[in-house]
Structures are given as C-alpha cells and as structure tokens.
Structure 1
C-alpha cells in the first residue's frame, strides 16, 4: 500500500497536482503548464513531474516512489497518445491514466455513477454507469470541443476578421481583439499559424465581460456557446444520464445563458477533477 496519493488534473492550459496521505489529509499542492498529451507526451510528463515535485516538496516527501498517482489528462482518449505516454519512464510507485473528463466525473459524484459536461479550454460529456464510461464530444480542438474556450476564441477571431472586411457590424468586442493585435490583420494571420487552444481560449473572459455590457457580438457568441453546451447536456440525458454536473471555467459562467430544458437536468458537483484523480490513484482506472 502506498504511503501517499497524488491526483493530477491536466488540461490544455494548466496542470494541477495535489498530494494526500492515506487518510486523505492534503499535504501539498502545485500548478504548472499544459498537460494535454496530444500536444506532446514528453511535454505533458514534464509538466506533471514539475507539479508533483513542487507538491512533494511542500509535503516533505523525498522519495517519489512512495506516491501512487492518478492522472486525469486531456488527450488521453486517443489510444496512441495514451500508449506513448504510459511507455515513458517515471519515478512513482504507480500511475493510472484516464481522461480529464473521467477525473471530473469521478470527482463530481465522489466515485459514484453520474454524468458531467466539462467546458473549460475544451469540452466533453462523460457518463459513468456501473463502471462503464460513455463519452460524447471531446475530440480536441479545432474539430470538436464546441462550448469550450478555444472554440469561443476561434469564432471570435473569425468574426473579427469578417467585421474588418465589412461583412458584419463592428462592435466594442471586435475593437478589443483588433487592439490586442495592434490593428494588424497580418499579425492575426501569422499568430494563427502556431496558436494553440489556450491561445484562442485567452479571449473567452473578454466575451463574458463585453456581454455584460450588452455588446451584440458577445451576446451572439455566448448564446452559441450555450447551445453547444446544451447539446452535450441533452445528449447525455438521451443516453440515460439522470444527474449531470456542469463543470469547468466556461461551464461555471455559462449557467445564466442556458435554457430550462438543459438547466433543469443539472446538479451541483461534489468536487472537481483533482479529487477525482485522487480517487483514481487508489485504484485501477486506466482507460486502456
């Protein structure tokens, strides 16, 4: 039996680690950069090593082999990436790897059956029923992840370019994006060639802020995001989910924009993905 347990919640923007003792007492916590394994398994492993190392230092743990680790990481649903990541060497007693959505669902219902829609940088719907996992969406940006911050940012950049060309009305939100790029359209095009999900996601807070000021483009975009998230909620319900928790940085802020059919299905989560990952650290929860 391991002396310590570590839960890691890693997405496109950040990687959070929390270490507890066998009784569940929190000993250390840390946060580092992206741990989406589709953006590079070595980069993700480096991020989690840094986060776990900092948390272990807080906890006064010197031998990492005393720690069992549960990893709830974005991108783990792709089997080839999962296999590549799990083939990497590590110093821990044991690791188990599943998706960030699975970790969030475990945390939301304290390891019991339930379903979640998580909308952060990306998005996904997950249902756990008698140990079986059902996943909808979550196939990564840009082909999926509707309702997440990256898609919101991508759409905003697209609409900004349309406004610049006179194909839609200019608004204060459009001005905000243009100011960000010093009113240089070529700079936007160059930036887009290497921009990652978190780079697009950086614009999502501005969309919420300008919507509060009744900016028409911001309102249009939040309505579209709400529709995307409602589609995931209703899709899980159609598959049998009776209790659905809405989680993530976008999910928490989009609630006032949801319509009653979807909003009425929602329940408050018990906890978050990092607590779900801690539950994973205590058992076998590997996706493959």
Structure 2
C-alpha cells in the first residue's frame, strides 16, 4: 500500500493541510476554519478532517488510512486539550500533535536547531536545541499572545472607546471601527462578550493599511506590536538563539518597525509550518509540548 504524509498547520483563524508522497512530491493542499484546540477539540478536528479530505481529493487518495498526519496546532501546549484531542477518533494511520510554533520551527530549519517567532492571530517564540524545545509566550488570548493580531485588535477596540469618550485623540482608524459597529457602543460591548481571537484579528489588515497613511492610532498600535515581537526575539536570543525566523501574517509585515538589533538576528525560514508538520508525520517527533 502506498504511504502518504500530511502536514496540518492550525491556528485561531484557519487550518491548512498539505499532502505529499513518500518521495516528498506535492499532491494536494486545502484550507478550512480554525483549529485552535483550546476553542474546542471537536471543532478543531472537524476543520482538520475537512481540510485533509479536500487535500486528499486533490491528490486522488480515497483510503485515508494510508495517511500519517503531523499536526501543528495552536494551544497544543495545553495538557488537557492535548489529551482530549488525541482521544478523538480519526481515520488516519497515525497522528502526531505538537504546537503550531513547533511545526513552524521544524519547517523553518528543516528539523535542525533554530528559533522562530510566529506572530499571526496569536504569537509564540520557540527555540529547538538538540531535541529540546524552549518556549516563551504563547499562552493564549487574552492573557498572552502579545504581538499577534488578536491582541492588536483588542487594543484597537480599547483605544477606539477611549477616543469616543474624549480620553485620547481620535483618528480615521477609530472612526472606521465605530462605523463597523454602526456607531453603536452597545453593539461593541455585546460583540465583545462572545468575540474570538480571529474576530479581533480581523482588524489587523486595516491597522497596517492606515499606518501606511500615517494614521496616529494605527502607527501607535503597530509600534506596540513591534515592541512585543521584539521582546520575544530578544528573549530567544538570551536563551542562545542567534538565528531567528519571523513568521506569520503579522510577523512578515512588521519587520520595518523593529529595531536594527532585532532585525540583525532574523533569517529567512527554509519552509513553512506545513512542511514542519510533514517532518513530524515522517519521524518520531512526539515531544510533549507541555514543559517550558
């Protein structure tokens, strides 16, 4: 029977799956919804299985038991969520689960020593050193994940409300947020009661856009985010990492806002988190992601 490998990269906003054959040849790839297991292991598994099924259809694979799957998922460092997820039934030959940061670092350095800061909806810093993983940050929104889009969006909402109350200067960005909620403050409060990280993160593209137009609030928010990401970069450097790949939708765009000292530590990743997850599927990468 043919053997296939699937890498899954799942965060708070989306989940991507890529399938390759035993020679590493690309066969199929698909994208679905959130796969942050702390937001619900059943929902994460549903979105993962949908992404894998779509990628398998592209690849012409009908027997999913031929797949070995490496999963690099947000919140996999949460022990109870890890065990709950791993207890779920699945049709695959084998699954390996670690964090999205671990998968990203595996991909960035081809499984060798190296460090990454991933800043997407959330954020984390991870340094792989001779099989041991050093992790900083990444303890989930809203208590952690500084440098990610969700925290950036949360700060935007907070500052917009301050501007509305005359406690800080307003801006076109703040007016945009108010218009998004039809200038109804009660709507903002109601929305916040159930808003997920991806809901806050939806505002990050607009923040970048307005910052390029020199909007005061947008520039302030981007600099705060850059400071948070720089703190992670320098923290990894103090742990011994001298080459750090900055990844994720926020990380890839924030580099010009970092100091020269932080920029000097950055290197280009060799590959993405799905490639890292495929390495997890191929090998014995069952490190528990709980210890820090």
- The 8 Å contact of residues 77 and 287 in structure 1, kept in 2 or not, is answered as no
Q: Distance in 2 between matches of 1:236 and 1:219?
A: 26
Are positions 1:186 and 2:186 aligned together?
A: yes
Aligned to 2:262: 262
Aligned to 2:278: 278
Q: Distance in 2 between matches of 1:2 and 1:259?
A: 49
- The 8 Å contact of residues 2 and 67 in structure 1, kept in 2 or not, is answered as no
What is the CA distance between 1:286 and its match in structure 2? Answer: 2.2
Divergent runs of 4+, >4 A: none
Aligned to 2:80: 80
Q: Residue 125 of structure 2: SS of its match in structure 1? A: strand
Q: Distance in 1 between matches of 2:244 and 2:196?
A: 29
Are positions 1:168 and 2:188 aligned together?
A: no
- The 8 Å contact of residues 142 and 151 in structure 1, kept in 2 or not, is answered as yes
Q: Distance in 1 between matches of 2:95 and 2:66?
A: 12
CA-atom RMSD, angstroms?
A: 0.8
- The 8 Å contact of residues 121 and 197 in structure 1, kept in 2 or not, is answered as yes
What is the CA distance between 1:267 and its match in structure 2? Answer: 0.5
Q: Residue 266 of structure 2: SS of its match in structure 1? A: coil
Q: Runs of 5+ in structure 2 lacking a partner?
A: none
What is the CA distance between 1:163 and its match in structure 2? Answer: 0.4
What is the CA distance between 1:261 and its match in structure 2? Answer: 1.2
Q: Distance in 2 between matches of 1:242 and 1:258?
A: 16
Structure 1 residues 167-222: Cα deviation after superposition (integer angstroms, max 9, x where no partner): 00110000110010011000000000000000000000111000011001111111
Aligned to 1:37: 37
Aligned to 2:54: 54
- The 8 Å contact of residues 99 and 287 in structure 1, kept in 2 or not, is answered as no
Q: Distance in 1 between matches of 2:243 and 2:255?
A: 16
Q: Residue 13 of structure 1: SS of its match in structure 2? A: coil
TM-score (norm 2): 0.98
Structure 1 residues 22-57: Cα deviation after superposition (integer angstroms, max 9, x where no partner): 000011111000000000000000000000001111
Are positions 1:119 and 2:136 aligned together?
A: no
Structure 1 residues 86-111: Cα deviation after superposition (integer angstroms, max 9, x where no partner): 01111100000000000000000011
Are positions 1:13 and 2:25 aligned together?
A: no
Q: Distance in 2 between matches of 1:26 and 1:193?
A: 42
Q: Distance in 2 between matches of 1:203 and 1:161?
A: 15
Q: Distance in 1 between matches of 2:225 and 2:235?
A: 15
Q: Distance in 1 between matches of 2:200 and 2:129?
A: 34
Aligned to 2:215: 215
What is the CA distance between 1:2 and its match in structure 2? Answer: 6.4
Q: Distance in 2 between matches of 1:245 and 1:21?
A: 27
Q: Residue 231 of structure 1: SS of its match in structure 2? A: helix
Are positions 1:195 and 2:195 aligned together?
A: yes
What is the CA distance between 1:160 and its match in structure 2? Answer: 0.2
Q: For this pair of structures, how many residues does the alignment match?
A: 288
Q: Distance in 2 between matches of 1:14 and 1:233?
A: 25
